[in-house]
């Protein structure tokens, strides 16, 4: 039985995922903080019929160090707020999903819920949200509400760090639960706009979230009516068992980072096991593999660009995801091979923008389509529809009608 068309997305960050990208990109560096630059990237992604874009964000400046600033001035530093940027772009697009990133560690879930719900309204149902934990001491220092130890990769197996990671993801799970309850706190038909009686809302169709947990105590209801999707798509990046469990219990989409097809198959097996362990109900996670890509018309040209970037950077680029350097056609073959082990699709990280993004939309997508792996038009509907995810029933409406 043939697989359905794969899901294809791109992760947008600065001038591209390679730290030296801004020095070779065919754009003026000054445009990186302009709405026009980002709108152009997303328009190109939509032109290629991609499912969605994700927009990176964090609470401290980019750094080559695990924790804290590195003092480098030869790399891009600074970002625009991902949620605000997505809201600016939404009216300029029609079909593509928009998934900004926010921290669950230092951001109140009430604020996140209203921001993402607003994005879903202004995009007519194309919003998503990527919650991420903030484990760095440098991020915590911006807020002064908690003390975190310095993040040291060589100590992550120590009991204290294991406990910290577990707590951060447990907090993230609570944050997602609060956000989802707030999205449900207005029933779909709560806004009645009855001019004859003077009633704009039916107060009986607004509900308290009433969440009390270790990290949050949130009454609700939200100030934003229920999003068009009911609940926007929640996506998580996961590298190991703890975040796999978080994604299985809290997300709709998970981004994973295999190094090859064999590891991709092992990760898919582990994620599906995590779904069973947490007792996931409803649609299974959509599993997308992350891959950093540097593409060109032939392998030698792509390798020359990679070597140039390496020289400008002063060493090899170290990434949590596997890297591919070569032609779009060869990448299409690799994606097809990896797809067979159970992946639902891929989130590609363009090394240089817009160079690699246009290679994806104008060369990779046709190559995938020629292999029967990608669609030739948007089917219409919401981001949930595009991903084959059902619209969730409102948890409070069911109780109210019981």
Predicted local confidence at residue 152, as pLDDT: 87
Average per-residue pLDDT for the chain = 95
Residue % of the chain over a pLDDT of 90: 88
Predicted local confidence at residue 17, as pLDDT: 97
User: Domains of the chain: which residue ranges?
Assistant: 7-130+232-401
Predicted local confidence at residue 172, as pLDDT: 97
End-to-end CA distance of the chain: 42
Contacting residues for 44 by C-beta, under 8 A, at least 6 apart: 354, 357, 358, 361
Q: What is the pLDDT of residues 287-297, one digit of tens each?
A: 999 999 999 99
Which CATH architecture does the domain made up of 7-130+232-401 adopt? Alpha-Beta Barrel (3.20)
d(CA 10, CA 185): 32
Q: Is the pLDDT of residue 401 over 90?
A: no
Q: What is the pLDDT of residues 207-258, one digit of tens each?
A: 999 999 999 999 999 999 999 999 999 999 999 999 999 999 999 999 999 9
232 in Cβ contact with 219 (< 8 Å): no
Q: Kindly state the greatest CA–CA separation across the chain.
A: 72
Mean pLDDT value of segment 344-364: 98
Q: What is the pLDDT of residues 33-52, one digit of tens each?
A: 999 999 999 999 999 999 99
Name the strand (E) or helix (H) holding 217. strand 217-218
């Amino acid at each position: 039985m043939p697989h359905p068309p794969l899901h294809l997305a791109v992760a947008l960050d600065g001038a591209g995922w390679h730290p030296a990208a801004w020095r070779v990109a065919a754009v003026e560096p000054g445009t990186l903080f302009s709405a026009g630059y980002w709108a152009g990237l997303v328009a190109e992604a939509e032109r290629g019929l991609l499912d969605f874009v994700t927009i990176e964000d964090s609470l401290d400046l980019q750094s080559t160090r695990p924790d804290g600033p590195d003092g480098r001035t030869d790399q891009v530093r600074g970002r625009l707020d991902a949620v605000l940027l997505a809201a600016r772009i939404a009216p300029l697009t029609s079909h593509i999903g928009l998934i900004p990133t926010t921290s669950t560690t230092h951001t109140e879930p009430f604020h996140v819920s209203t921001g993402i719900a607003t994005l879903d309204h202004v995009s007519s149902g194309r919003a998503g949200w990527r919650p991420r934990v903030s484990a760095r001491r440098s991020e915590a220092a911006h807020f002064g509400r908690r003390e975190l130890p310095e993040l040291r990769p060589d100590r992550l197996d120590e009991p204290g760090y294991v406990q910290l990671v577990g707590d951060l993801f447990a907090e993230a799970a609570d944050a997602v639960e609060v956000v989802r309850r707030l999205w449900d706190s207005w029933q779909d038909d709560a806004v009645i706009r009855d001019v004859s009686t003077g009633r704009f809302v039916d107060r009986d169709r607004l509900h308290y979230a009433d969440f009390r947990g270790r990290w949050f105590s949130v009454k609700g209801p939200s100030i934003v009516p229920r999003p068009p999707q009911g609940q926007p798509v929640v996506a998580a990046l996961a590298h190991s068992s703890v975040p796999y469990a978080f994604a299985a219990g809290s997300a709709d989409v998970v981004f994973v980072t295999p190094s090859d097809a064999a590891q991709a198959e092992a990760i898919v097996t582990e994620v599906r096991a995590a779904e069973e362990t947490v007792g996931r109900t409803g649609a299974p996670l959509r599993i997308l593999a992350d891959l950093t890509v540097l593409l060109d018309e032939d392998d030698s040209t792509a390798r020359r660009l990679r070597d140039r970037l390496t020289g400008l950077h002063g060493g090899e680029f170290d990434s949590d995801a596997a890297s591919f350097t070569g032609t779009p056609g060869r990448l299409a073959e690799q994606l097809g091979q990896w797809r067979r082990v159970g992946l639902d699709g891929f989130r590609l990280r363009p090394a240089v923008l817009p160079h690699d993004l246009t290679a994806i939309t104008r060369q990779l997508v046709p190559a995938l389509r020629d292999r029967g792996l990608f669609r030739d038009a948007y089917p219409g509907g919401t981001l949930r529809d595009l991903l084959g995810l059902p619209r969730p029933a409102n948890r409070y409406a069911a109780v109210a009608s019981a």
